[in-house]
Amino acid sequence: MVGGELGFLASWRLPDAFTTRQIDNVFDWMRTRAIERVPALARSFFVPGKPPKDVAYRAASEPTKIGLSVLACDEIRTWMWLAAQKGHVEAIQQMVVITQACALSKEFAEQRLTLDNLSSEWMETLGRLTDSGQGTKSMADKHSSTLAPVVDDAEELEEIGFGTTVITKIGDQDSREGGEISKRYRALIGRKLPFLGELPEPRRIGDAIRQRWPWAEMAAERIENRFAVLRAAEGDRPITLSPMLFVGPPGSGKSTLARFVCEATGLPTTVLPLGGVADGAGISAVTRSWATTRPSAIVLGMHEHNCANPAFVLEEIDKTSRSTSANGSAADALLQLIGSGTYHDLCLMAPVDISNVTYVATANDLRTVQPALRDRFSLIQVPAPRSQDFEILLDNAREDFMISRGIRPSRMPHLTSKDLHALRSWFASNRSARSFADAYETLVSAAIAEFENAAPEPGMLPH
């Protein structure tokens, strides 16, 4: 197990077999981190003598009480993982859903197999609980002969003010399969889910787009107009954007812009990569006749984020393949969801209210998007960067590199005039924001490696 912030917050998605001591170390680190953020928690939330599994579950379920934003996903998932490792039944059910949902997300594309395997392990743990009728084991102790006691979480769910019930009840809930599914997704069933997000101030979204994507001026105006309509509405209404399809050449920044529009409003956002997807299995529900049964990606997103109005970025819908599979094509699956008020989920065997879900899709070429699917979206053009956008792209690439690699500004090398000339020459014939970022990373990585190989005195990187 890797220590430090990145290592501890990745614990929930690691395939390692954790010892009890390692799990306790993660718990201690997370508790210290929370108390440093909100010192009063040492006397109120983290009360000595309270079972760690209950503390961890409450931290994951009520993140705002420990000073966390609902968008601090990795930290929330790690708290839930801790509760599950300590034997909290509801937390184990949640980990099944979390790992299933993340396995479908582009963010964890390289870990899809690992997450699928982890989901199966958590499901096996739940199966042992159901079969024994006694309790469950934490994954750290799954080879032990001692079963942890069943936890009956007596805390009532907080009353939700502004929200809606998306699933009233599931079908065939008295069967064994129905009972297991009902327990696993009980946070959704017959319970009001909150509406999340906050409308930005006038022009804030448009100005932010113009600053980072100055070549997308028309897109900024059309997106800002949509928020103006939401602000003009009377009464309390959830933040829900009508479906948008960003169309433009590869590397124009469509995907990052789509994520920005969703996340800037505080909507929990899931990215679903659809390029090359042959069928709808990753989007649609998996029926109960399969051992891998699960709800649709939309329901999983609602469950993971505890939210009735999540957002989904659908990448490269023009590259979904036509399929003869029994699951249907990805485009067919999307047609059932986008623009629909309700969706019948085959795993839950019940209608789900998806009227408040936001969809933002991207495509390079409209000609390969099915006409029926294309008509579900408003089209917004995102052109390629222009020659005058070079400095903006350079600033964006530098900032993104520092954030993604965890490098302080003082440790970043400055590119030489020769490097900048080469980058300008390359950009003149390749107007792609993504390729620009790749070229910048190549140059900066070479500069960092050159500095490291020179073995100077400890200190700053050269400026």
Mean pLDDT of 47-66: 81
- pLDDT-based confidence at 382, cuts 50/70/90? very high
Tokens of residue 400, six digits: 């993104």
Name which residue leads in pLDDT, 286 or 268. Answer: 268
pLDDT at residue 138 in the model: 44
Sorted by sequence, the CB contacts under 8 Å of residue 47 that are 6+ apart come out as none
- 231 vs 201: CA distance, rounded Å: 9
* DSSP H helices in 306-432: 330-337, 371-374, 390-405, 417-428
- DSSP for residue 292: T
Identify residue 233 by its one-letter amino acid code.
A
pTM of the model: 0.68
170 near 201, Cβ under 8 Å? no
Bridge partners, 313 (sequence order): 271, 360
* DSSP 8-state class, residue 361: E
> Following DSSP, what letter does each residue of 218-245 receive, concatenated?
HHHHHHHHHHHHHHH--S-----PPPEE
Angle in degrees, CA 234, 238, 239, rounded to 5: 100
What is the percentage of the chain residues whose pLDDT exceeds 90? 22
pLDDT score of 280: 59
209 contacts 227 by C-beta, under 8 angstroms: no
User: pLDDT value at position 321?
Assistant: 59
Given a cut of 70, whether residue 460 has pLDDT beyond it is no
Tens digit of each residue's pLDDT (9 = 90 or more) over 318-359: 887 555 445 567 888 888 889 888 889 888 999 999 999 999
Cβ neighbours of residue 298 under 8 Å, at least 6 residues apart? Answer: 283, 310, 312, 337, 343, 352, 354, 357
Mean pLDDT of 95-118: 79
Q: Identify the burial level of 336 via C-beta atoms within 10 angstroms of its C-beta, where 0-12 means exposed, 13-18 middle and 19 or more buried.
A: middle
The pLDDT of residue 361: 94
Q: What is the mean predicted confidence (pLDDT) over 28-48? A: 81
pLDDT at 140 over 50: no
Identify the pLDDT of residue 459.
Answer: 45
Query: Which secondary structure element, helix H or strand E, spans residue 360, and what is its range?
Result: strand 358-363
Mean pLDDT, the chain, integer: 81
Residue 147 has pLDDT above 90, yes or no: no
Instruction: Band the pLDDT of 45: cuts 50, 70, 90.
Output: confident
pLDDT confidence tier of residue 44, bands split at 50, 70 and 90: confident
Question: Given pLDDT bands bounded at 50, 70 and 90, which one contains residue 20?
Answer: confident
